[in-house]
Chain A
Amino acid sequence: MKALSFVVALALAAGIVVAQERRVELKDGPGRAQVEANCNSCHSLDYVLMNSVFLDRNGWDGSVTKMIRVFGAPINAEDAKAIVDYLAANYGKS
């Protein structure tokens, strides 16, 4: 997967000892691809699972907004909406 290979390449270039990271399985559903493509570059996807299930839609929206505004995640508006929809539906409380 492109994003993860980039991270591994960067890691190897910087002399970091890193074993092949195991894949974190997210639930299937619309928006899963956007989450995997956008969120996995900076951190493993277990950050999502770990922060469940206690956030409602507002909570997930706040988290994704923070990723973009504060941590500089380059996510376009369309993907951001798909990501929040996915997280609220699959890892959120109703």
Chain B
Amino acid sequence: MASRRDFLKGTGGLVLAAGGGWAASHAHGAVPAAPGFAALPTGTTAESELEALPGKLPLIKRTLRPPNYETPLSYFSEDLTPNKAFFVRYHLAVIPQIAADKWTLKIGGEAAATPFELNFEQLKRDFPAADLVAVNQCSGNRRGLFDPHVTGVEWSVGAMGNARWRGARLKDVLAKAGLKKEALEIVFDGADGSVMPGTPDFQKSIPVWKALDDNTLLAYEMNGEALPHWNGFPVRVVVPGWTGTYWMKHVIAINAVSKPFDGFWMKSAYRIPVNRFPIVEHFASQVTEANEPITEMVVNSLITNLSAGQQVAVGRAFDVRGIAWDGGRGIAGVDVSADGGRTWSSAALGPDHGRFSFRGFSLAVTPSTAGAMTVMARASNRAGATQTNELIQNPAGYHHNVIQRVVVNAA
């Protein structure tokens, strides 16, 4: 049976209207919103279309240059997101094509005693490989669903993906650089750059303790293949549990510093109000009175198999399926309601790929009467945090984890 994915693969470019249902609604400029959330800005909807970057399947274009493209909902039916469908996000428009045999990584900084340089072969050969499954989610995923709207890239639900990452442990690479006692933060720089000289270069830092965590990687493989160009070829930083802003793509320099890094994208951007979100890990050297850097993801879920207004049969069971994830505590459970939140049942959880991965869930629901049914899913993590009923407002549009409400129709 031809799936939506087969249909998309067949065209390779813009999807043209053909036949009824989902396919027809994917005419130029008409990408359906993920059901059960507030609406995207009207201009965002008018501007969204399915478009294939070189080497990628058609994704939902938000902006052409720099490219910001999100993954259509259908790809989240599987626990691992295919590389060709993985979302693309850039801050800056000068994105060089890097040849693996020309790539070098400089590791140094004033808090490194023995700076050195690595090429691709050395990175793969000289350090033991580690692999793990982890969600990479843009800090601003779902920003478009904020109400009232806030400026920025107006993502729907698809600025995220789950992959098996393989690479060297950053701690092993840093050990060779000889971290000094006073090392406070590790700064990453990628090969992409700005068009204008006055635009701050995209550089990020993480605390030294996070850099030395066993799970923080310099990844050169994604789902068993080389990284796609648009996802950071040849090497990117992987910081499991933390939002995508730290996962520096096309990394070319790593610097150990003894003072808080004060680049724009660390000091002024990617900040959340203090004490507003249920998070465990804080970036202490970057906290101010007013705000702190975004760090780990908040617990969240996504229903992947239902669309708004979908017909279901009275007296016959249908599945509510989806995925849940958080910042690395692990998913404790997902509750599902089919009566707008009056009653809840525990969903069955799918295979456990590790605490940084998407976790599938499913629950069979049987409508007892005809009419609209509001289906909701609410994930909880092992730190006791759960999703919100109401949006936690913040000016930059981060950490949207409002409980989804999909209305289906029983007849």
Measuring CB to CB, which residues of chain A are less than 8 angstroms from any residue of chain B? Answer: 7, 10-11, 14-17, 19, 21-22, 24, 41-44, 46-55, 59, 63, 70-74, 91
Structural contact, B198 and A46, CB atoms closer than 8 A: no
What is the CA–CA distance of A47 and B44 in the complex, to the nearest angstrom?
A: 9
Contacts A15-B97, A17-B97 known; A50 to B153 CB distance under 8 Å?
Answer: yes
- Complex interface: chain A residues within 8 A of B151 (CB): 51, 55, 59, 63
Chain A interface helix/strand/loop/mixed = loop
Structural contact, B43 and A11, CB atoms closer than 8 A: no
Structural contact, A50 and B195, CB atoms closer than 8 A: no
Number of B residues near A (Cβ < 8 Å) is: 34
Structural contact, A15 and B94, CB atoms closer than 8 A: no
What is the CA–CA distance of A16 and B35 in the complex, to the nearest angstrom?
A: 37
From B63-71, B76-84, B370-378, give the one contacting chain A.
B63-71
B12 on the interface (CB 8 Å rule)? Answer: no
Query: Shortest CB–CB separation between residue B129 and chain A, in angstroms?
Result: 28
Contacts A43-B63, A72-B197 known; A49 to B47 CB distance under 8 Å?
Answer: yes
Structural contact, A54 and B46, CB atoms closer than 8 A: no
What is the CA–CA distance of A16 and B94 in the complex, to the nearest angstrom?
A: 8
Contact with A along B73-111 (1 / 0, CB 8 A): 000000000000000000001111100000000000000
Closest chain B residue, CB of each to CB of A63? B151
Given A51-B152, A72-B198, list of 11 further CB < 8 A pairs?
A16-B96, A16-B97, A22-B64, A48-B43, A50-B63, A50-B154, A51-B151, A52-B43, A59-B151, A71-B198, A73-B196
Closest chain A residue, CB of each to CB of B46? A49
What is the CA–CA distance of A14 and B191 in the complex, to the nearest angstrom?
A: 11
Contact of A44 among B64, B154, B229, B268 (CB under 8 A): B64
B127 on the interface (CB 8 Å rule)? Answer: no
Query: Shortest CB–CB separation between residue B269 and chain A, in angstroms?
Result: 9
Structural contact, B64 and A21, CB atoms closer than 8 A: yes
Contact with A along B307-321 (1 / 0, CB 8 A): 000000000000000
